[in-house]
Amino acid sequence: MARTGLYKSEVKKARDYLLSQGKRPSVDALRIELGNTGSKTTIHKYLKELEEEDGGQSPKASLSDTLQDLVARLAAQLQAEADVQVAATLTQAHEAAEVAATEILQLRRDKAELETKLRDASAASKVEKDAHEQTYSLLQDLKTTKHGLELQLSTLHDRLSENEQHRQSLEEKHQHAREALEHYRTSVKEQRDQDLRRHEQQLQVLQAEIRQLRQDAIVKQDEVTRLNQEGARLVADLSHAKQAQYESSSRLRQLEPKLELASAYEQRCRALEESLEQKIAESSGLHIQIADLLQQLDAIGKQHNQSQIELAALQAQLETHKSLSAELQSLFTEHGRLPNL
């Protein structure tokens, strides 16, 4: 391995060694002695400077042959040791260079791996940063949404409280309405029961009177038959006819109080009809009130249907009363015709 620099002292030592060996210190010999290192120009320059320092003459050997031989052997031994050390140093240097080259290659590989990891880490860091920004943005959105939901929840709680109060108020009104309706139903039922009882009593009285009038009519029919028979005999016996007419007049005078009583019954029936019509009108008004209450309480429908049934029963009773009144009027008409017979 060539040396990188050459010193003047080394050239002087090599020159002196060649002179001690009895050799001529030429530029080529000096270069060989120096281990083929250094340029010939540099060796020639140093050699010229040494000659000028020596007064332009080359030093001559002044030592004895023994000393020169010793110096030569020492120089050879030193050169051999130096060569061994240089070879060992060169071997160590080569090994160190190979180790260094291996380490450099490994370091380059490690550097490449680290650069790759660094790029990956940078990319992962960027992705993580972007994800963090997205997560942060999402978190802000969630916070905003949460705040809005909390406001809505608070509003819903307020509305729920208001609805609860309104519901309680409606329940109270509903309870009052139920109580009022129950009271109304009780009073209507009591009034209806009273009207029905009174009507039944009046109906019983009228039926008894009608039965009595029918019995009287049968009796009168018998009398009419008998009077017809007597009328046939009037042709033969005028006196008997006058007597029969007198008796008939007497009987008519006896029937006049009954006719007046029947007329009174007729007036009572008419009053009952008017009272019944008034009850029907009142029932219609009650039906309107019930229809209003039905909008609030569905349960009133059954009561309304019951009222309709009762109204139909009352109308049927009214028709019965009208039929009885017609029968009475027919009877009165028949009795009114008796004198003409």
Crossing angle of helices 238-296/65-234, nearest 10°? 170
State residue 59's pLDDT score: 46
Q: Distance (Å, rounded) from C-alpha 132 to C-alpha 125?
A: 10
State residue 279's pLDDT score: 74
3-state SS, residue 324: helix
Q: Distance (Å, rounded) from C-alpha 129 to C-alpha 135?
A: 9
Calculate ∠ Cα 217-222-224, nearest 5°: 90
- CA count, 13 A, side-chain hemisphere, 213: 26
State residue 64's pLDDT score: 52
Query: What average pLDDT is seen over the chain?
Result: 77
Q: Model's pTM, two decimal places?
A: 0.24
State residue 200's pLDDT score: 82
Comparing 280 with 300, which gets the higher pLDDT?
Answer: 280
List pLDDT tens digits, range 16-40: 888 888 888 888 888 888 888 878 8
List pLDDT tens digits, range 311-321: 788 778 778 87
201, two tokens: 């009593």
State residue 231's pLDDT score: 60
Q: Which residue has the tokens 């290659």?
A: 105
Asked if residue 49 has pLDDT above 70, the reply is yes
Confidence of residue 301 (pLDDT cuts 50, 70, 90): low
Q: Distance (Å, rounded) from C-alpha 37 to C-alpha 94?
A: 19
Nearest to 53 by CA among 45, 63, 65: 45
List pLDDT tens digits, range 234-285: 666 667 756 766 776 777 677 777 667 767 767 876 787 787 777 777 767 7
